[in-house]
Structure 1
Amino acid sequence: MTTYHPKHFLESDLHPDFAGAKKCVICEKWISTRPNHLYCRPCNLCFHKECSTSLMENLTIDRPVTHEHTLTFIRQKNSFNCVACGMVVANKEMNFYGMYEINMYGCLPCNFFIHRDCMYLPKVIKLTRHSHRLFHTYQVPDHNTKCRICYDPFVCGSGGYICSDKTCDYKLHSQCATRKEIWDGKDVEREPEEISNSEDVTMKFSSLEEVDGKTLRHFSHHHDLIRLCVNGGEEENKRVCQACILRIGSNSFLGCKECDFALHDTCARLPRKMEHLFHRHSLTLEVDMMNIKEGFFRCSKCERESCGFMYWCCQEECDFKMDAKCASLAGPLYSETHKHPLTLLDYGARCYECYECPFSLDSKQATLPVLVKCNYDIHPLTLCFGRHIMCPWRPFSCEICEIRIKPDYPDYEDLYGCFDCNTLVHVECAIGKYPYLKPGHTIKLNGFEIEIASNSFSRPICHACHSTCQDKLVFKNKSSAISFCSINCITSS
């Protein structure tokens, strides 16, 4: 028996079948060596010997940084809420400890209870998703407000992180704010805060420079740019934005009179350095794919390949990359495909949800162009999501591939449609499998130097899978006559 587990005798020998398959209930690490543990057969619980010893030596904490009185370890099942995070059982304990609440310390006279891990929460943090520093408090004011990450309410009397700016109502649960994908792990309490005018910061990292009233200069291009309007001409319709590689479909854009360089207004204003809620570190803008070994990249957010502008993380251990379309997203998201604002509910789920109706988007859907032009219809086709389509004519097929469309759960498909002409096409048929790669660009992959070409007229046979190349783009080897239908086929050759 131990002070931690007084009900049963603990064995020092674990059944061979359990070796390497049990976790210590104190530190949550795998028990790999048999002589280094204690085992309770009735409870089917394992402990490292040193963890049990360490816990016995820390049954009381005399001078905790979180409270003015001595804190006592509570070993029985309890229903006390942690003052730091507001939870009875911390997220990381919930699945493994079951009925055991082993990491709670308390001061009974003060009704103060706290998880052992929550004692060491950082006092001051800076997140990329908010412009101000956040301070930890054991009493969140106005607990009826919601956490700005998970959008769940605060437990009355619980702690959390609040904004250092008194005019800002930004609040986060302790455990939401310190998740490893959101927080960079730094307590900035002792670090001086950079106090600067927001306009100065914007100018410092701005990509655009105004030359005169009509002329602008973008750091990615050697010619000056002017604001142009889409005139509907054939050449204008083929023009693409160099940042996101999508067609220029807006009424006005920034264009070069000396060459075909063009940028959407929103893409042109993307800063050279930014903090984004999709990543915990600062991101730097790369505009030249010649600096990328393969000549293209895969966005870590939407997982699409792109040869446009790329935001990348400078941290050595981090390989995060993001394309221009995902970089333009923010929370809440105001999408033309839905009448209500959409909230980024959870980072891991990569999902935007509407709190007013059952509507949601992932980041791949959120970055799709709302309107596209198609040879099969005189009108622009509008993006519509299969689970929300109310279509009077069923069954129906895609106008391009002629495969029947599945609008019903769980097989529904996202579509582009013209409901005046009863035209529907699959998203991939309308914009292609690689909407952010452009014809004429060269990539290097698997020892091949590949030119990306339009597949409008020819339908070559893929060298790898031996099927007809059906997509809008085809990948042609520069040193031979072989072609590939996809990047996967290039890498598998």
Structure 2
Amino acid sequence: MEKEKEGERIDKINHFSHPHPLLFNDEEQSDKSKEVRCSACWESLLGSSFSCGECDFHLHKKCAEAPLEIHSPFHCKGGTLTLVPNPPWESPLSICDLCKENLQMQYGSYDCLKQDCNFVAHVDCAMEKYLATGQINDQDEESSENLASITFVVETNQHGEAIKIKHFSHEHDLTLDNEIKEDDDKRCDACMLSISTSFYYCSQCEFLLHKTCVELLRKKHHWFLESLFTLHLENIFQCGLCQHYCSGFAYHGDYYKFCLRCAGISRILPRQRHKHTLFFDFDLNKGQCNACGDYIHRGYKCKDCTFVLHVKCMALPQRARHKCDKHFLELTFHDENADLEEYYCDICERQRNPNHWFYHCVICDNSAHSKCVFERYPFLNKKIGKTYKDCFHGHPLICVKKSYDICLRCGLPCQDIALECKSCNFTVHFDCLYFEDLVAFL
């Protein structure tokens, strides 16, 4: 903002949001019958302001003096928000990520301009929050932004890439490997997904991490709660967003733990997996999820049509493995094969809805429900032999794979991974135990 001064008072400014000079006005509005609004926040123009002498453009003094950039520890990326007079959004209406109210996009807003972040807020909301944080001290800022998960780089290659590292999550050194075998179903111990990109491995034990998981920040902010989340390695936990029981890395907040899939998605999703922009709604209660067909009470909705989506469906990985096919299966949003009268899942051999999301191999022409691909415990570490303990049971519980045993708690068959007490000769489902209160890793 360029200023022209007479003494200490600013009489005229050139503001980046408007082509004409703006004149200072310290007087109350003379014509009370005509309501004048600020062109930035759209509130009534009361008190000191700047106005254009050539057109109907006005700014509160506080809006005119709003900084072009502010540090934003309160949004998911915890970086910088930029003041944007006319955000480059396709939809004229959005939602403020701070007050959750409608945000008219023809007026100014603070936006995160990072490619993978869609945070947007009213000017007033962002400034109020910015001032309330006390502009976080340097120590907090460093801990939230710069604390890497790699604790030490042991060796680099000629390009400066870390090929051997020490990582907070593992006791041994980890070595970089770029060779991916098509028929090798290795899984990352951080996100529990198949290894399909560069990864680090331990030469002393069966421990693998995607390169992208290795490089995650130890601390980050998340839009779901305005607090700092810290990365931990967990043996078992329930994600506060998708509700899946998970193993591996979790971001811990004051009240919730989030899996890596949910920690990485934004509140606003412009044209991701849908033709329109999606917004997260905390109290949706609106029919069936368009991806899986199950009832939805909290998730993403489209403001332009009736499309709604579970968080757990939004967080489905783009690629997955299953023993039904030797190739990677790709997440597909609609079956384009109009020649078929009926559509079947090649895993359960039951009918599937062609309008629901499914996984497909284009080479073998195999298609499957997403639930069948991931089965009952898709994100648990299913390494047989892991030992757990129940606070109300005196003996260790061992991770086993069962086909016919009956669960002691619910009476239903244990058809997949379960916990077994060999001393008492009983078996129990994972989700029949309340993990957070009852189960701890030995």
Question: TM-score band, normalised by the shorter chain?
Answer: 0.5 to 0.7
Q: Which structure is higher in strand share?
A: 2
Asked which structure has the greater CA Rg, the reply is 1
Q: For residues 78-157 of structure 1, what are the structure 2 equivalents within 5 Å?
A: 85-86=41-42, 126=72, 127-129=74-76, 131-132=78-79, 141-142=85-86, 154=104
Question: What does 1:67-466 correspond to in 2, within 5 Å?
Answer: 85-86=41-42, 126=72, 127-129=74-76, 131-132=78-79, 141-142=85-86, 154=104, 160-161=109-110, 172-174=121-123, 177=126, 187-188=131-132, 191=135, 194=138, 204-213=147-156, 214-230=163-179, 232=181, 236-237=184-185, 239-248=186-195, 250-287=196-233, 289=234, 296-313=236-253, 318-330=254-266, 345-346=279-280, 348=282, 350-351=299-300, 362-385=310-333, 390=337, 392-408=339-355, 412=356, 414-439=357-382, 440-444=385-389, 447-448=392-393, 450-455=397-402, 458-466=403-411
Compared with structure 1, are the counterparts of its residues 79 and 286 closer, same or farther at alpha carbon in structure 2 (3 Å cutoff)? same
Instruction: From the superposition, tell whether residues 399 and 85 of structure 1 become closer, same or farther in structure 2 (CA, over 3 Å).
Output: same
Is contact 1:462-1:484 (8 Å) kept? yes
1:433–1:143 distance in 2 versus 1, CA, 3 Å: closer
Equivalent residue pairs, number: 367
Query: In structure 2, do the counterparts of structure 1 residues 443 and 363 end up closer, same or farther at CA, with 3 Å as the change threshold?
Result: farther
Asked if the contact 1:305–1:437 (Cα under 8 Å) also holds between the matched residues in 2, the reply is: yes
Distance 2:206 2:35 in 1: 67
> 2:5 maps to what in 1?
none
Structure 2 distance, partners of 1:388, 1:84, is 45
Distance in 2 (alpha carbons) for counterparts of 1:143 and 1:203 = 29
The unaligned stretches of length 5 or more in structure 2 are 1-24, 157-162, 283-297
Q: 1:211, CA displacement in angstroms? A: 0.8
Contact 1:150 1:345 in 2 (8 A): no
Q: Give the equivalent residue in structure 1 for 2:290.
A: none
The amino acid that maps onto 1:285 is L
CA distance in 1, matches of 2:412, 2:87: 60
* Change in CA separation of 1:450 and 1:394 when aligned onto 2, cut-off 3 Å: farther
Cα separation, 2, equivalents of 1:81 and 1:416: 52
Describe the shift of the 1:490–1:280 C-alpha distance in structure 2 as closer, same or farther (beyond 3 A): closer
**SS of aligned partner of 1:373:** strand
1:358: Cα distance to partner? 9.3
Gaps of 5+ in 1: 1-66, 88-103, 290-294
Alignment of 1:35-54 (within 5 A): none
CA contact (8 A) 2:146 2:217 kept: no
Kept after mapping to 2: 8 A contact 1:461/1:483: yes
Structure 1 partner of 2:426: 482
SS at match of 1:465: coil
AA aligned opposite 1:427: S
* Greater CA drift, 211-220 or 125-134: 125-134
Residues of 1 paired with 2:410 and 2:147: CA distance?
Answer: 49
Q: Residue 281 of structure 1: SS of its match in structure 2? A: strand
Deviation at 1:344, TM superposition (A): 5.7
- Would you say the 8 A contact 1:128–1:282 is kept in 2? no
Distance (whole Å) between structure 1 residues aligned to residue 270 and residue 363 of structure 2: 26
| 1:468 corresponding residue in structure 2 | 413
Counterpart contact for 2:147–2:219, Cα < 8 Å: no
Shift in CA distance, 379/272, structure 1 to aligned 2, threshold 3 Å: closer
Contact map agreement 2:94 2:105 (CA 8 A) in 1: no
1:57 — aligned with what?
A: none
* Worse-matched range after superposition: 143-152 or 366-375: 143-152
Distance change (3 Å), C-alpha of 1:134 and 1:384: closer
Q: Are residues 480 and 284 of structure 1, via their aligned partners in 2, closer, same or farther at CA, if it must alter by over 3 Å?
A: same
Deviation at 1:268, TM superposition (A): 0.9
| Counterpart position of 2:292 | none
Amino acid in the other structure paired with 1:267: C
CA contact (8 A) 1:442 1:451 kept: yes
Amino acid at match of 1:432: E
Q: RMSD in angstroms over aligned alpha carbons?
A: 5.2
The 1-side partners of 2:71 and 2:42 are apart by 19
Deviation at 1:490, TM superposition (A): 6.7
Contact 1:242 1:262 in 2 (8 A): yes
* TM-score (ref. length: structure 2): 0.63
Q: In the superposition, relative to structure 1, how do residues 241 and 174 fare at CA in structure 2: closer, same or farther (>3 Å)?
A: same
- Partner amino acid, structure 2, of 1:376: C
Distance 2:231 2:206 in 1: 22
State the secondary structure of the residue aligned to 1:326. Answer: helix
SS of structure 1 residue aligned to 2:405: coil
Kindly state the Cα deviation for residue 134 of structure 1 after the two structures are TM-superposed.
Answer: 5.6
Separation of aligned partners in 2, 1:170 and 1:399: 40
CA–CA distance in 2 between the matches of 1:417 and 1:372?
A: 10
- 2:192 touches 2:380 (CA, 8 Å); kept in 1? yes
Helix, strand or coil at the partner of 2:227: coil
Identity of aligned residues (%): 26
C-alpha deviation, 1:372, in angstroms: 2.8
Tell whether the 8 Å contact from 2:199 to 2:210 is kept in structure 1 after alignment. Answer: yes
Q: Is the 8 A contact 1:464 1:490 kept in 2?
A: no
Query: 1:227 is aligned with what amino acid?
Result: L
Q: CA deviation at 1:310?
A: 1.2
- CA positional deviation for 1:243: 0.8
Q: 1:392 to 1:382 in 2, by over 3 A?
A: farther
2:236 maps to amino acid:
F
Query: What SS does the aligned partner of 2:212 have?
Result: helix
1:272–1:285 Cα contact (<8 Å) kept: yes
CA contact (8 A) 1:86 1:155 kept: no
CA distance in 1, matches of 2:242, 2:26: 48
